[in-house]
């Protein structure tokens, strides 16, 4: 059943200034590169410049949407992230100023690990249902960071996805029902006093697969489609082979053959961007959608599944129907340019960026100009982050 034809009207993304190829990581570590390319399904990872963060990437992702559609109908910004820059102020408020949006705007930040981008999307759909004249700007952006030489390090990445949610969407209309699942499990978390996450890798995989079962069970009990009626599935991708593992698990749970060919048909077109960007937490699943739309010319009017998972854990399975003329509205060339214009770095340069810390005592610091993006974090002054157009 359709939710009155409301969904994703436009989608744009941004990523960090730098890229570290995993071939370079393998050379540094003396590791077989297939550990990354085959085992994780990762080819490279985006690394933010010193003067980049979720605010600068979020603004850069959203700017093309405003250039195409204007802002007259946008009355809400929902920013989903698990790497927030402030414990009180929403990152979206900084974005609101950088983009010159009017004061008559609601701005809120949402958090639940990698899941909250989907919470923001569903809240946006509900707001547009209440007033179809309005549009909602949803931004999902993160920088994933793990300790050096830890198992999670090669999965790191950084990106922000911006989505314009509106009535009569040009890309994907969101469809009811949703399947929901929550379970209190400590598989991945980042205490306030840490800049890097803590992860129990084995438990996290098990928790993810448990969430796949739980969301699908709830989805089908609420009258959802059969798996055979879904053309492709976008999964949260902490690393791209996890999406394939999750889909094979779902196939098995549904009593269907769970071979690699079947998972490749459903998932393979969704992994291209994540494979070269790395894990971007809340943005990850929506990079999968961008990859699917950009790499596929014949998915119009077909149903796509979405499995959004956030450690800790909360998950949701829902579906969307791709618009008939989506090819006229996707941003394939722009998205590929975002990836291709990154600057390649070696492991030593990556390590220097990884180890750079902003002051935590509030002293003034001007940051070096590194980003070639539209917005930058200029520095810290009197405990305040100072953002400006580049």
**In the 3-class helix/strand/coil scheme, how is 191-259 assigned residue by residue?**
CCCCCCCEECHHHHHHHHHHHHHHHHHHHHHCCCCCHHHCCEEEECCCCHHHHHHHHHHHHHHCCCCCC
Let me know if 82 is a catalytic residue: yes
Q: Is 297 annotated as a binding residue?
A: no
Question: With 0-12 CB in 10 A as exposed, 13-18 as middle and 19+ as buried, what is 37?
Answer: middle
Distance CA 291, CA 305 (A): 14
Instruction: Show the CA angle centred on residue 195, arms to residues 383 and 199, nearest 5°.
Output: 155
Q: Which residues pair with 386 in a beta bridge?
A: 379
Q: Both ends of the chain: CA-CA distance in Å?
A: 45
Instruction: Give the relative orientation of helices 54-69 and 91-98 as an angle to the nearest 10 degrees.
Output: 50
- In the block, tokens 């009535």 appear at 167
> Which contacts of 196-199 are long-range, i.e. CB under 8 A and separated by 24 or more positions?
196/145, 196/146, 196/147, 196/150, 197/144, 197/145, 197/146, 197/152, 199/146, 199/151, 199/152, 199/311
Rg (CA), the chain: 20
**Residue among 22, 52, 96, 114 flagged as catalytic:** 114
**Residue among 9, 236, 247, 249 flagged as catalytic:** 236
DSSP state of 367: P
Q: Is 245 annotated as a binding residue?
A: yes
Distance CA 20, CA 216 (A): 36
Distance CA 351, CA 368 (A): 17
Pairing mode of beta strands 232-235, 303-310: parallel
Q: Is 279 annotated as a binding residue?
A: yes
Question: What distances in angstroms separate CA 246 from CA 142, 164, 214, 236, one per listed residue?
Answer: 22, 28, 12, 9
Let me know if 344 is a catalytic residue: no
**Residue among 24, 52, 82, 109 flagged as catalytic:** 82
Let me know if 234 is a catalytic residue: no
Positions marked active-site: 82, 114, 236
Binding positions for (3S)-3-hydroxy-3-methylglutaryl-CoA: 32, 146, 245, 279
Binding positions: 32, 146, 245, 279
């Amino acid at each position: 059943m359709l939710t009155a034809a409301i969904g994703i009207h436009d989608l744009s993304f941004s990523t960090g200034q730098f890229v570290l190829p995993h071939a370079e990581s393998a050379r540094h570590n003396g590791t077989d590169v297939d550990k990354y390319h085959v085992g994780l399904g990762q080819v490279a990872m985006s690394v933010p410049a010193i003067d980049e963060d979720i605010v600068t990437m979020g603004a850069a992702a959203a700017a093309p949407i405003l250039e195409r559609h204007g802002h007259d109908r946008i009355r809400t910004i929902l920013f989903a992230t698990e790497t927030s820059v402030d414990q009180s102020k929403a990152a979206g408020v900084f974005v609101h100023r950088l983009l010159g949006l009017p004061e008559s705007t609601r701005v809120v930040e949402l958090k639940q690990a990698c899941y909250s981008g989907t919470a923001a999307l569903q809240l946006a759909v509900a707001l547009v249902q209440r007033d179809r004249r309005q549009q909602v700007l949803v931004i999902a952006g993160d920088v994933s960071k793990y300790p050096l030489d830890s198992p999670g390090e090669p999965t790191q990445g950084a990106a922000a996805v911006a989505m314009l949610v509106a009535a009569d969407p040009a890309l994907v209309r969101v469809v009811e029902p949703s399947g929901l699942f929550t379970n209190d499990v400590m598989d991945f978390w980042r205490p306030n006093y840490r800049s890097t996450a803590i992860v129990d890798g084995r438990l996290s995989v098990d928790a993810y697969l448990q969430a796949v079962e739980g969301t699908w069970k709830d989805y089908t009990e609420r009258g959802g489609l059969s798996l055979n009626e879904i053309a492709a599935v976008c999964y949260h991708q902490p690393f791209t082979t996890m999406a394939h593992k999750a889909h094979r698990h779902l196939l098995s749970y549904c009593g269907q053959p769970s071979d690699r060919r079947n998972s490749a048909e459903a998932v393979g077109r969704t992994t291209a961007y994540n494979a070269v960007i790395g894990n971007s937490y809340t943005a990850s699943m929506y990079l999968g959608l961008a990859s699917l739309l950009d790499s596929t010319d014949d998915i119009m009017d077909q149903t796509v599944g979405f499995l959004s998972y956030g450690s800790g854990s909360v998950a949701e399975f829902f579906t969307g129907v791709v618009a008939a003329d989506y090819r006229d509205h996707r941003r394939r060339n722009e998205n590929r340019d975002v990836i291709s214009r990154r600057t390649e770095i070696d492991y030593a340069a990556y390590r220097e960026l990884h180890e750079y810390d902003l002051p935590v005592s509030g002293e003034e610091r001007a940051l070096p100009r590194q980003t070639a993006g539209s917005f930058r974090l200029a520095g810290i002054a009197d405990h305040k982050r100072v953002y400006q157009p580049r």
